């Protein structure tokens, strides 16, 4: 009984430190309070798994960090769009092309002109990359080494940035 009381007292004594660490992780006071609460519950549920010769504070902070990472991964997974339509209709829709405004269509025209000014050795791999091809697919289709494809795309991107530096 004295060990259980000591365990709970040590956990209560860490609440301020846990809240500070949670604030660093979440950058949000409400989310930090939720994280501290989740951590406290998880620690209490796993009290039997704690070994006395283990650093208690480190053990509790590791639990908090793992909860935070798992919650973050869960949020990322739930935000991922999975298109199950037969022709990938939803993925092929432009989300916000920016072409609705005259400035957007002008910028798109300027980008096209800039890309078309490249020689084919840079234009072809760059446009394929922008179209969604993977480096390995581009290398295979162009019968080039993977490193060559990567460097050509890199140099095309740098050249495009320098040509369009006024749009940044």
Q: Contact at 8 Å (CB) between 167 and 107?
A: yes
Instruction: State pLDDT tens for residues 61-99.
Output: 999 999 998 888 888 777 766 656 666 555 555 555 444
Q: Look at residue 129 in the predicted model and tell me its pLDDT.
A: 84
Q: pTM for the complete prediction? A: 0.47
Q: Contact at 8 Å (CB) between 111 and 156?
A: no
Between 105 and 133, the more confident residue is: 133
Instruction: State pLDDT tens for residues 23-67.
Output: 998 888 999 999 999 999 999 999 888 888 788 898 999 999 999
Task: Report the distance separating Cα 33 and Cα 39, nearest Å.
Answer: 10
Q: Look at residue 35 in the predicted model and tell me its pLDDT.
A: 92
Q: Look at residue 65 in the predicted model and tell me its pLDDT.
A: 92
């Amino acid at each position: 009984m004295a060990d259980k009381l000591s365990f709970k007292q040590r956990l209560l004594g860490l609440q301020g430190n846990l809240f500070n660490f949670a604030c660093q992780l979440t950058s949000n006071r409400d989310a930090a309070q939720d994280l501290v609460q989740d951590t406290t519950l998880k620690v209490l549920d796993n009290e039997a798994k704690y070994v006395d010769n283990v650093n208690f504070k480190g053990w509790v902070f590791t639990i908090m960090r793992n909860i935070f990472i798992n919650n973050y991964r869960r949020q990322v997974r739930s935000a991922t769009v999975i298109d199950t339509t037969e022709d990938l209709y939803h993925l092929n829709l432009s989300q916000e092309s920016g072409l609705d405004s005259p400035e957007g269509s002008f910028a798109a025209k300027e980008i096209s002109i800039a890309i078309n000014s490249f020689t084919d050795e840079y234009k072809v791999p760059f446009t394929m990359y922008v179209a969604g091809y993977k480096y390995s697919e581009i290398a295979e289709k162009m019968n080039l080494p993977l490193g060559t494809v990567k460097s050509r795309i890199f140099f095309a991107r740098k050249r495009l940035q320098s040509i369009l530096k006024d749009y940044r």
